[in-house]
């Protein structure tokens, strides 16, 4: 095979691999792959100029990914979470949780995202909830059992929506990963990718997914991100008529749960203490208490939906 033809094939394979790594999405990452072909003369100068702008944006941060790209990264994170936890098989309860979660998402700062918000129950007694980028939200059976009513459930789900609205998952990705990935994508003109390059590129994107998973399950988000999500939760829930103190009601109950000192599993270990969280939202709750409507009907619905769980 002639060298020029082999180089062209290598470039096309590299572009295709990059698209596959992020689940087939189009946008900044896939366009970056085409820059290789531009440097080698396989696409027009006009196309090359368009790609340069994308390249500069990509160098800044993963936070500038499109919603579609965020979704595909989040889907990989969700798959990792589901490899560690079993799904709680209760279709009616899952539909109910989705109705409540999607309702509070409508009052969020990101009510419409690529492919929408999706909520799933995990079959574990661990008190925890996870929000993967792109709208994938998981709540454990243990967490649900700790929520006393729909007001609290809405606040818990709104907290996770707050993490997605703030793009906290993407912020957990090490800033070096996109830069190192680009260094491979933008190799010197005339040098074909080899197997080692492709392995490294795969590792960078796998590593990005791993960064998010560690933040969700092992390390937790920063105190400032948790405070932001808590205050967002109060605003989002109150925005559609839930009582603003639903979150503090849940936190009071969590404060008395086993392991609440920080030694327990799940969010009892990775989140700030319940008492600190209550203090951080105190002013927001006070300002929004008048927004809530009568919770009686909602709490009867909650009791009915969770009775058989």
Q: In order along the chain (309 residues), what is the average pLDDT of each group of 10 residues?
A: 38 35 39 54 52 44 70 88 94 97 97 96 94 95 95 97 93 63 48 58 67 83 92 97 96 75 51 88 95 94 90
Q: Are 243 and 151 in contact (CB under 8 A)?
A: yes
Give pLDDT, residue 232: 97
Give pLDDT, residue 175: 59
CA distance 308 to 141: 12
Dihedral angle of Cα 50, 22, 97, 284, to the nearest 10 degrees: -50
Residue showing tokens 């295709």: 16
Task: Using alpha carbons, select from 251, 250, 219, 235 the residue that is nearest to residue 289.
Answer: 235
Give just the sign of the alpha carbon dihedral 262, 83, 91, 115. positive
Q: Are 108 and 131 in contact (CB under 8 A)?
A: no
Give pLDDT, residue 178: 54
CA distance 198 to 174: 20
Task: Using alpha carbons, select from 269, 271, 263 the residue that is nearest to residue 224.
Answer: 271
**pTM exceeding 0.75:** no
Give pLDDT, residue 27: 43
């Amino acid at each position: 095979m002639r060298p020029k033809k082999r180089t062209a094939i290598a470039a096309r394979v590299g572009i295709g691999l990059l698209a596959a790594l992020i689940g087939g999405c189009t946008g900044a990452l896939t366009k970056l792959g085409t820059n290789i072909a531009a440097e080698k003369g396989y696409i027009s100068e006009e196309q090359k100029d368009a790609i340069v702008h994308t390249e500069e944006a990509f160098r800044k941060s993963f936070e500038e990914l499109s919603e579609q790209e965020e979704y595909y990264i989040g889907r990989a994170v969700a798959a990792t979470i589901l490899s560690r936890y079993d799904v709680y098989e209760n279709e009616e309860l899952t539909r109910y949780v989705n109705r409540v979660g999607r309702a509070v998402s409508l009052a969020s700062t990101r009510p419409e995202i690529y492919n929408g918000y999706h909520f799933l129950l995990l079959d574990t007694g661990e008190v925890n909830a996870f929000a993967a980028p792109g709208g994938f939200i998981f709540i454990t059976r243990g967490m649900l059992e700790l929520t006393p009513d729909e007001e609290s459930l809405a606040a818990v789900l709104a907290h996770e929506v707050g993490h997605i609205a703030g793009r906290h998952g993407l912020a957990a990705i090490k800033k070096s990963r996109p830069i190192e990935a680009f260094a491979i994508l933008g190799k010197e003109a005339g040098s074909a990718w080899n197997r080692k390059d492709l392995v490294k590129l795969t590792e960078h994107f796998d590593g990005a997914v791993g960064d998010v998973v560690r933040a969700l399950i092992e390390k937790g988000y920063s105190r400032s991100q948790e405070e932001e999500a808590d205050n967002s939760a109060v605003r989002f829930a109150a925005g559609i008529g839930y009582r603003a103190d639903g979150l503090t009601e849940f936190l009071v109950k969590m404060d008395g749960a086993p392991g609440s000192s920080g030694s327990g599993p799940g969010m009892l270990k990775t989140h700030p203490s319940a008492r600190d969280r209550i203090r951080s939202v105190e002013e927001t709750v006070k300002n929004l208490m008048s927004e809530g409507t009568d919770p009686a009907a909602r709490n009867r619905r909650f009791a009915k939906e969770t009775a058989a769980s």
